[in-house]
Structure 1
């Protein structure tokens, strides 16, 4: 089993979720899932290319989104639901576990989770939506300043940071079969920048990627997947940098369009938070540090003889390079 500070495998590969396609489940398989969950209605499984197995939709009342996970992961999801509940009290729309879950699955090693099905789409990353997302993230950060979970998250997050920082100091990638392009990035990275991950550290979401933000028809945003937040004691700018990286930079916008979207995001966030980027260089350093952190995590997984796809190494190397490539465009907004 991986240490708890290492992230679980993503629901999708690359930067964007795959196209969603629901395939009907019939016969004994559907009946078994209905009995195990106590939810009755037609069953479908998520079958789009690139998605992991074990996602279901049950047309019960209410319609439910069901995940099949390991027992260990189920406990993390349950703990993460506590963090989501805290945000819900603050008026932030989140995805919450349905009462009575997790429940045992057919296998003794697995469990079932159920959430109310959210009728929404992945975020349309236009300027208006990004401004709203900035406002939501500022509200998240403010809400969690009063969280009773702070001590546990701080302990887990600090331990994760210290392990990765030591791995960087020890240059552990030299001991394992790390792809040459990843090794080149790790060798060139100034280790003193790594501490920036902990500047003004507090509870943050820690994984604000395209698959974890939904947008309802009325424009309301819904945040998903708070498992990373269980150990995300980090610089609050990390959440902002995630959005800038995954919703803006990887889209290949021209300088003016990039600046418009970045300005909207920061305007929304700055209206509710005192945390700022000093300039474009400030942001680039954080983006590259995030990429290095991910490369170190992949190295740790390799050290445990876990299989890591070459595409994952390449993804974070490209994100490291992209930050530097886009610095001139970022300067239009940040100086």
Structure 2
């Protein structure tokens, strides 16, 4: 397992390098200039700014300069927030997005797994149809529509939660609920399918014949194997929650990584955009690795060691 983890971690380097190079050429190939929004900027000032950030040099030279700084852990200076570095911006924004994402992931698992288990237990009944209908709605409704409805109901009609910002634990409820809605649906559907297969196994029938209670059959015997596909889904789901927070953070005015990613595109903040892309790429690879490790821990039949 240690050798497998080491190999996967070493693969991070070329992948992140590819992300950095592709992102660099994509943002630099976009029309306009990061200084084009400046009002009444003189030609002399524009030349000085381009020289300060190295934009007066050929693109290959600029890329080489950026990669050298990146190798030292320096993501550069923001072109929009000129008194701040990209490291500083991401360092403040990333914990906010991670906190929101973890809250949404907990909601997804806490609601999705029991919903899928009950749906499998009551397969082809009204409970099953109702649960899967709710899951379908959760997948189908866009996050900005759901966010608007939640704000309307729980901030104006029944004022229980704040509409925007990060003032305390209550301010996390609506954004996390919005973010978790489609993933509750995915988790419940995956759990249902897995549990239907698990509940038809002989050892489940044996447990029932020995007089095990329904709760014991479902959650002690059945869920132990039925949860494996959900664990496999955790990596992509967590990455999807973190990257999907872009829209939610914008709607609820949450100062996370997603809203900074949007601002970097709007203001042509090249270095901030590349930095956000690198962080999202690193998160995706890390979470997929954690998911694979958990998969091997839960199912002892899975071995990542190479055969000699």
TM value normalised by structure 1:
0.23
Higher RCO structure, 1 or 2 (CA under 8 Å, sep 6+): 2
More helix by share: 2
TM value normalised by structure 2:
0.25
